[in-house]
Amino acid sequence: MQTISFKIASKNIQGHFGSVKDFLLQFSQTSKPIVLTESKLYPFFSRFLDGYEVIQIEGGEQHKIQATADFVISELMRLNADKSCTIIGMGGGVITDLAGYVAAVYKRGVKLILVPTSLLAMVDASIGGKNGVNIGHHKNMVGTIYQPDQIVFDIELLKTLPENEWENGFAEIIKHAVIADAAMFDWLKNNSLEYFVNDTIALEALVLKNVKLKFSIVQLDEHDRGERKKLNFGHTIGHAIENLYELPHGHAVAIGMVKESILSDKIKGRDASISIQIDELLCRYGLPVTCALNNSDVWHLIQSDKKKNGGSIDLIAVDAIGSSRVERMDMDRFFRFFNETDK
Ligand code: GLY
């Protein structure tokens, strides 16, 4: 097992790259953790979890709500979990977000270990401490930023992922490439989803690159005041359409990235070469780049987006592949361009 330490503010987060089974065997000897997982995933992991208390919940965005967090908290109380307990969130982004949220608020904060089991959770959701629950169609309306103590990245867990889960993960990987890493963009362009699914060494290298990239951004700006906002590329429109049209997160973000990059092109008055490159790469990885939207419904949700501030919102402007900037934009102007964008 390879361990890399990532320092965020005053916290040292250990990232372990290797077998979760070995990690859990060692860990159970020293502490009494409580695992939070999805009932659908539990049969896959139950063999690693002998001797652990396990709280199971239903998966899916519709369960990432305050009522589920309350249920988990009442289970922790039933198990007499005290302030020294450790919560292990084992699952995709819904589980890592809920585990983080509950760990942050239970007894005003307990230890947290995340074991992301989807590609999306490995390269994005498990890193950076953002957590939360949805309120109606509004994504992550309530939550905190609370860093885990440890994260376990076990590539073997990805082997059983269905195809749409791979696509979801690649949406965030492509986002990273677009905003900050032109060489990774070329690497992705010269390969395919099938190549990474079948080549464990390449996949490990890709996950490690993305984990380091995301940590490097969060290290600069844990609280989303500047540099970290770049990670919201595609998410302003993506979050609005995700719950409204019940799209998988990666699909919504892919459509959001195309729309937001077209907006960047329009605002800059330049040709569409950047948005076309993004569109082509997303298609190469099986992601949708457009869908029929009701602009006024989408706009209604964008108006209550966390990123909106008074009459303006932060748009991530892509200057070139691998280079982006946060640009404050007047909401009226954003709405005008949004309505004009036909894709
Ligand atoms: N997923 C965006 C962020 O962590 O900031």
| Per-residue model confidence as pLDDT tens digits over 99-145 | 999 999 999 999 999 999 999 999 999 999 999 999 998 888 999 99
Q: Is 228 in the pocket of ligand 1 (CB under 6 A)?
A: yes
Does the pLDDT at position 289 exceed 90? yes
Look at residues 225, 266, 227, 248 and name the one whose alpha carbon lies nearest to residue 92.
248
Query: How many CA atoms lie less than 13 Å away from 238 in the CB half-sphere?
Result: 28
Question: Residue 50: which pLDDT band, with cuts at 50, 70 and 90?
Answer: confident
pLDDT value of position 45: 86
pLDDT value of position 31: 63
For the chain, how far is it from start to end, CA to CA, in angstroms? 45
Closest residue CA from atom 3 of ligand 1: 231
pLDDT digit string (tens) for 141-200? 999 999 999 999 999 999 989 999 999 999 999 999 999 999 999 999 999 999 999 999
Atom of ligand 1 lying closest to residue 228 CA:
5
Q: What rounded mean pLDDT belongs to the chain? A: 93
pLDDT value of position 343: 64
Distance 317 CA to ligand 1 centre (A): 17
Atom of ligand 1 lying closest to residue 130 CA:
4
pLDDT value of position 29: 63
Does the pLDDT at position 339 exceed 90? no
Q: Give the span between the Cα atoms of 244 and 152, in whole angstroms.
A: 32
pLDDT value of position 311: 84
Over residues 189-216, mean pLDDT: 97
